[in-house]
Amino acid sequence: MDTRFLFVLVLIGSVGFLFAALWMTLARRDPVAERLRRVADGYGPARAPKGLIKQQDIVPEGMLKALIPEKRAERTQIRLQLARAGFDGPNAVRNFFLFRLAAAGIAPAVAIALLAARETGVAPGAVTAWMAGFDPMTAVRNVAVLVGAGFWGPTVWLNSRIKARKAVIEQGFPNALDLLQISSEAGLGFDAAMTRVGHVIAPVCPAIAEEFLSCQAEILASRDRAQALSDMAERMGVDEVQGFVQVINQSMEYGTSVGKALNAYAVEMRDAREMKAIEKANKLPVQMSAVMATLMLPALFLITLGPTAIKYMDAFGK
């Protein structure tokens, strides 16, 4: 057997085993969590609640120390960001760091594979011609840039997903609050109303439906209602939801009517939305003035100072 062909075969097998190990690590599931997840599949039309089983904050050991932060505060912050992005699984933190490592390692693996293919002569002619245009320093610089993009790209994508999910929740929460108020006034209890709204709003806003149903599933699992609502507001990361949770907790603590509390908060939220709309409308003239000044000032300077500049140029030219 040709030595070059054997070398390429071993290289391909090594890369395949690496990706198989990563896939097996990411696909591993806790049997208890998997069983409860299958039971929760029939809970509603929305996605199954993911945060029912709260795994303990395990300190990373072995090779995971090089990936996962050892400080508990940093792990908690990352877990909260993942939850706000919609990833609230028991191994979300570990999977995120493994995914970031895999994204950062793709570029060096591809570069090594291409280099080995070129050296062994099995690479196509177009690939060999393309690689011939790179000197060693350029190749190392390009690989370093790709590694940095692969390492920090998931973080940028996570932040953008958090912002997009918060925007969706901010837009859909007033409608969910109105449905909660209508359901409460129709005679449903708060838990039944929240479950009903979670089922109804699922096609329109799956993020709110998922959080509502997850919260109710935690309450049905004998978790404290106030704590479940507070965790839901923390995961959603929206100020309106924080205020809603405070209103509900105070209403249940002091024994007042939940329907009246929801009605009062809905009116307050409508006023707040109106004030935000007025604020955005009042900012428009200032923003338009800056754009118009940026576009009009060069033309204005050219019209007013152009003839004078031309006269001076003619005078000094003679």
Task: Using the predicted structure, report yes or no on whether residue 176 has a pLDDT greater than 80.
Answer: yes
Q: Give the DSSP letter of residue 193.
A: H
User: Which backbone phi and psi does 237 adopt, to 5 degrees?
Assistant: 70, 30
* pLDDT for the residue 94: 79
Nearest Cα residue to 114 out of 94, 91, 130, 100: 130
Task: Using the predicted structure, report yes or no on whether residue 148 has a pLDDT greater than 80.
Answer: yes
d(CA 201, CA 171): 12
Which residue matches tokens 């031309």?
Answer: 310
Provide the residue ranges of all domains of the chain, joining segments of one domain with +.
Answer: 3-165, 166-272
Q: Alpha carbon of 61 to those of 58, 64, 77, 99: distances in Å?
A: 9, 6, 19, 18
Which residue matches tokens 């039971």?
Answer: 39
Among 32-41, 147-156, 167-176, 279-288, where is mean pLDDT lowest? 32-41
* pLDDT for the residue 47: 46
* pLDDT for the residue 295: 81
Using an 8 Å Cβ cutoff, are 8 and 120 in contact?
yes
* pLDDT for the residue 24: 58
